[in-house]
Amino acid sequence: MQFWQSTGDLPKYFARAAARYDRIPGHMYAIEVEGLKKVFGNVEAVAGIDLIVSEGEMFGFLGPNGAGKSTTTKILTTLLRPTAGTARVAGFDIVTHPHEVRLSIGVALQEAGLDTLATGREMLVLLARLQGLRGGQPHKRAAAMLDLVGLSDAADRRLGTYSGGMRRRLDLAGALIHGPKLLFLDEPTTGLDPASRHAIWEEVARLNREEGITVFLTTQYLEEADRLAERVAIIDHGRIVALGSPTELKSEIAADILTLAVPEESMDVAKEALTRLPGLKEIQSDTKELTLFVTGGSSAIASAVRLLHEVDVTVGSVKLSSPTLDEVFLRATGSRLEGAEQQQAETDGKKRGRKEAS
Ligand SMILES: Nc1ncnc2c1ncn2[C@@H]1O[C@H](COP(=O)(O)OP(=O)(O)OP(=O)(O)O)[C@@H](O)[C@H]1O
Ligand SMILES: [Mg+2]
């Protein structure tokens, strides 16, 4: 059982961050979502989401595989109809005014299918025409966007020769071709090497900062959400489990994180013994590790080791750290997001199969 369930303090804990963003009457929001749901057969992919994104904001939507990030993005970009709930994007209702929504937004989807024989420039010209640009405009905009994302030199090469990072940059250029003020990016850096990931981060941050573009970005990377987003919604099983700025979310934990490696067979004894630790706020365990939310910092290390020694449990390793978004996720859901990241390689294969089939 999770500790907070027994104390019942979770809703209060995150409600504070959410409450600070209650709707202000008359204010223009880039995105307003109320009670949004999407059901596929017996899977509730999005299970009732409420959120508000202000104009000019960089908003992160962080969650593990299958959390409902892409489904939410597709609904907000009018590619899927919600089962229930409402959403307004750029001031337009997504169900009654999908056309206006589409003209106002740029979208780079997770599974964009690129024609590998076309060149980067041809692709962008085509997208510009599809967006209704005419005359010399498509070529002009394509050149400007290629320049913007640093692809001018590769503009006339076939997409088949582009690296993963170059393709994601082209996705970004495509999403920006008609000059939208609101950009939806679904996992813009998944599968990229660290250098390409950093390059995309810089580009997205610059678009937000210098061009004032509102960004709704989904990610399963803690670091990405932490570095880029002004506010983050953490989503799990179709529900928002935490909402606030990364700093707020971490500081609301108001504790240090003590991680202890303990042999599997001693886990229960260890956990029981550690409930007597001074300053303990919460304790979570998996098969190999105990995570303790404690106040009192380094003095907790000595106390914890002593308590374990008293019950004959040997500690493998001890680590004291400040909370990250992973601990925010852990506290809200009882599992870590980082483990989910490691499984990603395997799930990616399966996922692709599923998405092609659907
Ligand atoms: N077209 C569909 N038909 C049936 N189930 C679907 C469909 N699309 C999504 N789902 C299910 O809805 C849930 C949420 O999927 P979604 O793609 O939104 O997750 P995600 O957060 O984007 O995950 P990932 O990080 O893997 O991209 C999953 O359980 C998924 O299997
Ligand atoms: Mg997805």
SS3 letters across 313-324: CCCCCEEEECCC
CA distance to 64, 339, 347, per residue, from 344 (Å)? 9, 9, 5
For a mutational test of ligand 1's pocket, the pick from 40, 189, 220, i.e. the residue with the most ligand atoms closer than 8 A to its C-beta, is 40
Whether 220 is in the pocket of ligand 1, judged by its Cβ within 6 Å, is yes
Mean pLDDT of 166-184: 91
pLDDT at 21 (0 to 100):
54
Say if 342 falls within a structural domain: no
Cα 26 to middle of ligand 2, angstroms: 33
Question: Among the listed ranges 104-118, 125-139, 163-177, 261-275, which one has the minimum average pLDDT value?
Answer: 104-118
Q: Are residues 275 and 189 in the same domain?
A: no
Q: What is the DSSP letter of 23?
A: P
Q: Report the separation in Å between the CA atom of 124 and the middle of ligand 2, taken as the mean of its atom positions.
A: 24
Q: Which of residues 250, 266, 301 is at a domain's end? A: 250
Q: What percent of the chain has pLDDT over 90?
A: 62
Q: Are residues 116 and 231 in the same domain?
A: yes
- What was the pLDDT predicted at 24? 65
Does 205 share its domain with 308? no
Q: Is residue 175 part of a domain?
A: yes
Question: Are 92 and 142 in the same domain?
Answer: yes
In a domain, 265, yes or no: yes
CA 71 to ligand 2 center in whole angstroms = 7
Looking at the structure, do residues 225 and 313 belong to the same domain, yes or no?
Answer: no
Looking at the structure, do residues 194 and 243 belong to the same domain, yes or no? Answer: yes
Average the pLDDT over 191-205 and give the result: 87
User: Does residue 74 sit in the same domain as residue 94?
Assistant: yes
**Angle between helical axes of 194-210 and 164-175 (0-180°, round to 10):** 20
Select from 62, 78, 65, 76 the least CA-distant residue to 30. 76
Q: Is residue 7 part of a domain?
A: no
Of the two residues 243 and 20, the one the predictor is more confident about is: 243
Domain that holds residue 318: 256-322
pLDDT (tens digit per residue) in 110-149: 776 667 789 999 999 999 998 889 999 999 999 999 988 8
Mean pLDDT of 203-229: 93
Residue 174 has what pLDDT?
Answer: 92
Specify if 209 maps to a domain.
Answer: yes
Cα–Cα distance between 33 and 14 in angstroms, integer? Answer: 18
Tell me which of 222, 250, 278 is where a domain ends. 250
The phi, psi pair for 281, rounded to 5°, reads -105, -30
Residue 113 pLDDT: 67
CB of 71 sitting under 6 A from ligand 1: yes
Q: Are residues 75 and 181 located together in one domain of the fold?
A: yes
For the segment 73-82, the average pLDDT, to the nearest whole number, is: 96
pLDDT band of residue 309 (cuts 50, 70, 90) is very high
Is 297 within a domain? yes
Atom 4 of ligand 1, nearest CA residue: 40
Whether 199 shows a pLDDT value over 90: the answer reads no
Q: Do both 177 and 265 map to the same domain?
A: no
* CATH code of the domain covering residue 286: 3.30.70.980
Q: Is the pLDDT of residue 159 over 60?
A: yes
Q: What percent of the chain clears pLDDT 70, i.e. is strictly above it?
A: 86
Whether residues 77 and 36 fall in one domain = yes
233 shares a domain with 293 = no
Of 225, 250, 275, which residue sits at a domain end? 250
Residue 19 has pLDDT above 80, yes or no: no
CATH number of the structural domain spanning residue 220 = 3.40.50.300
Is residue 352 assigned to a domain?
no
Closest by CA position to 38, among listed 86, 75, 83, 69: 83
Say what the pLDDT of residue 23 is: 63
**Does residue 195 lie in a domain region?**
yes
pLDDT exceeds 60 at position 45: yes
Residues 194 and 87 grouped into a single domain: yes
Number of structural domains found in the chain: 2
The pLDDT of residue 337 is 86
Question: Which of the residue ranges 73-77, 87-91, 163-167, 294-298 would you say has the lowest mean pLDDT?
Answer: 294-298
357 has a pLDDT exceeding 90: no
DSSP alpha helices (H): ranges in 221-358? 222-228, 246-253, 267-274, 299-310, 325-333, 337-342, 344-357
